[in-house]
Structure 1
Amino acid sequence: MGTNASAADNNLHHCNISNARTYNVLSGIITGQFLLGLPLNLSVLYIFIFRFKFWKNKSVFLFNIVAADFLLVACLPAKVYNYQLGQRRSPNHWMCKAMLFMLFLNRGASIAFLVILSLDRYFNVVYLGRRNYVKVLKKSPEISGVIWLLLLPLTIPTMVKTFECCNSHGRDDNDIADTFREVVFFSQIIIPFIILLYCTVRIVHRLKKKTVGEKAKLRRAMCVVVAVAVIFSVCFLPCAVARAALLFVRLKEWQEAEDVVVQVYDALMVLSFMDCLLDPMVYCFCHSGFKDAYLDVFCPAFLHKKLRKAETTTTTTTTTTSAVRSLSLPMVEKLQV
């Protein structure tokens, strides 16, 4: 009994925070993310359901990203509560594992659907004129359901066993569930990021080769891929780097360094929650009518008119400039002859 109590106390000690000020700041940031993310994602859900009717308007994949973001927003109050109590994770094992399960599911779903959208733009640009199987797949609600189901086996290891702070790798030897969870964590970030970099480079290269008349559509495709790459760079990559550093110092048993790296890791995890605020940027680039529909419903009338007027002025200026260029080029050729 004494040994079990000692082990439990040791596990709980690792769940406690080492710097209350740091976690008070983090809880304030998460509160801000929740206060901004909840109305934002509710309003986006309204647009996709009642204005777009996403099941009819080729917006199934975008709706799945919104659903994943909503799962994340729902978890944020629990994180604030734990940080305010001076705990990195909930001391209740089932609550701890349920939270980690939801976060893993959200991250996996967001990454999967964002990468598929980027691949769709890649095939549209680089292999223009050929059959785009990704576009065919992304229109199907059944395919979206299959992707969610495929994510479950990768997320289940978070529920397999009781582990301290849902974060025990490096403390328990030869634990397959912990090792598998770490492999999933890193592979679901690093592999998609490599794919995104490849798609971005190829689209930019293709854009440079295209004529002026085709560049508008290609720029929008490039904006989609670049926006997704920015979300990865800001939200997911820093967290993966900090996770690798945490595992390294833990395996080396550098306790003082671990106390610092844990705070950095938790701070970057909080930063990763920003994807629920940045994803609407992708919707604007992916769906030409999203921004207009959102402004029509939620933007005040006087501000909406000003934005419309500014867009019209910009479009007219761009069109006039393009026309002047196309008319002046033949004149230059004649003078040279």
Structure 2
Amino acid sequence: MAWTVALSNLVLAVFGFTLITGLPANLLAFYTFFQKVRQRCTPMDVLLLSLTISDLIFLFFLPFRMVEAANMKWTLPYFLCPLSGFIFYSTIYNSTFHLTAISVERYLGVAFPIKYKLKRNPRNAVIASVIFWLLSMAHCSIVYIIQYYDISNPNYTSPYKRDTCYEEFSKEQLDILLPVRLELFAVLFLIPFLICCFCYIRFIHILSNLPNINAKKRYRAIGMALGTLLVFIVCFLPYNVSHVVGYVANRSPDWRVYALLTSTFNACLDPFIFYFSSSALRGTFKNILQKLSRQLFQPCCRSALYCPLLNCLSTEEKTPSTTDSSL
């Protein structure tokens, strides 16, 4: 891949947008799910917390890639190259596992509500999350293997003398890397995607046929299901298709960098899935909005006489609604 000014600006724009929007949203989600797990833990809360931690780790390492894009070459200490790549790819595939597990959890809860409720255990979600982390990291350790493979060959340029990161592979490296990428496509993307499609299609079908469920809850659950499938298609499909194309063409496609950009959007799209999946996150988000609205209006309104909106807000706080009194 040859860096250009246009490509550098595009990468910086996508990474910057992901970092600015994804970091505060995931920090809010982390705080919410951490408090929820401490108080009353459910398998869904464990999965959402683990996925949030994965997204936060991804976002914390994203600035290293932004520095590379800004300089249009790798200028940081070289040990950060395989480390940032390892984290970058591992968290992407870790997300596919967690989103699939969430789809299974949702489907079983709707298809077998009583039977599954009696057997669900947060400990199983913890074990599953650990397995997801280990599988994704084990597969993506190929980044370290390839970066230092054949380093003793006299015709091979040492990575420490290069200004590129995880690029310019030799034929010997591609012979190892391309089959592994094909396995990543099959094991870490295709199988989870098919499971996710089955679970959410059945989930939507069952919800559509339930007569007594609240319409708002039904639409919110269907939105969560469609949003997850959209994340798979938009964020993960292009990049994983490049694995298949590269294996068939026996080379690393030049457009992989563009396909990889869509994968970064996952870190800022996941919080929207969290919003539909967790009532606790929706409550935290609404509380923050209310506090922000009060702070914004108070400096402008020194008294309720000159601020009808603040007067209305204070009246609502003093007067309990019928909904609150019924609870």
Report the Cα distance in structure 2 between the residues aligned to 1:213 and 1:36, rounded to whole angstroms: 33
Give how far 1:272 is off.
Answer: 1.1
Alignment length, in residue pairs? 283
Superposed displacement of residue 91, structure 1: 8.1
1:95-150 per-residue CA deviation (whole Å, 9 max, x = no partner) reads 22212210122112211111111101111222333236884256653443343234
C-alpha distance in 2 between matches for 1:184 and 1:146: 16
Give % identity: 20
> Does the 8 Å CA contact 1:54/1:63 hold for their aligned counterparts?
no
Query: Aligned to 1:60, which of 46, 49, 62?
Result: 46
| Cα contact 1:90–1:96 (8 A) shared by 2 | no
CA distance in 2 between partners of 1:177 and 1:124 (Å): 40
1:185 offset after TM fit, Å? 4.3
Paired position in structure 2 for 1:121:
106
Q: What is the SS of the residue equivalent to 1:172?
A: helix
The correspondence for 2:68, drawn from 82, 85, 94, is 82
Tell me the equivalent position of 2:145.
160
**Deviation, structure 1 residue 33:** 1.9
Unaligned runs of 5+ in 1: 1-13, 252-257, 310-315, 317-337
Q: Given that residues 179 and 247 in structure 2 are in contact (C-alpha distance below 8 angstroms), is that contact kept between their aligned partners in structure 1?
A: no
Counterpart code for 1:283: F
Mapped partners of 1:138, 1:90: distance in 2: 44
Greater relative contact order, per chain length (Cα 8 Å cut-off, separation 6+): 2
The answer to whether structure 1 residue 293 and structure 2 residue 284 are counterparts is yes
Aligned to 1:204: 204
**Structure 1 residues 270, 227: CA separation in 2 closer, same or farther (over 3 Å shift)?**
same
Q: Give the structure-1-normalised TM-score.
A: 0.71
CA distance in 2, matches of 1:20, 1:134: 56
Contact 2:91 2:136 in 1 (8 A): no
Change (3 A) 1:29 1:241: same
Q: Distance in 1 between matches of 2:170 and 2:215?
A: 51
What pairs up with 1:1-337 in 2 under 5 angstroms? 16-17=2-3, 19-49=4-34, 51-54=35-38, 56-58=40-42, 59-87=45-73, 94-131=79-116, 135-137=120-122, 140-161=125-146, 162=148, 165-166=165-166, 171-172=171-172, 175-176=175-176, 179-213=179-213, 217-251=217-251, 262=254, 264-297=255-288, 299=290, 300-302=292-294
Query: Which amino acid counterpart does residue 10 of structure 2 have in structure 1?
Result: V
RMSD between superposed Cα atoms in Å? 3.4
CA contact (8 A) 1:118 1:199 kept: yes
Return the letter of the residue paired with 1:44. Answer: A
CA distance in 1, matches of 2:36, 2:260: 33
Structure 1 stretch displaced more, 218-227 or 100-109: 218-227
Q: Distance in 1 between matches of 2:202 and 2:170?
A: 40
- What is the TM-score of this pair, normalised by structure 2? 0.73
Unaligned runs of 5+ in 2: 150-158, 160-164, 298-308, 317-322
Which amino acid counterpart does residue 105 of structure 1 have in structure 2? S
* Cα deviation code 1:24-80 (max 9, x no counterpart): 22212212222222222223223333x435563322211111100001111211111
- The one-letter amino acid paired with 1:286 is S
- Bigger Cα displacement from structure 2, 291-300 vs 113-122: 291-300
CA distance in 1 between counterparts of 2:246 and 2:101 reads: 30
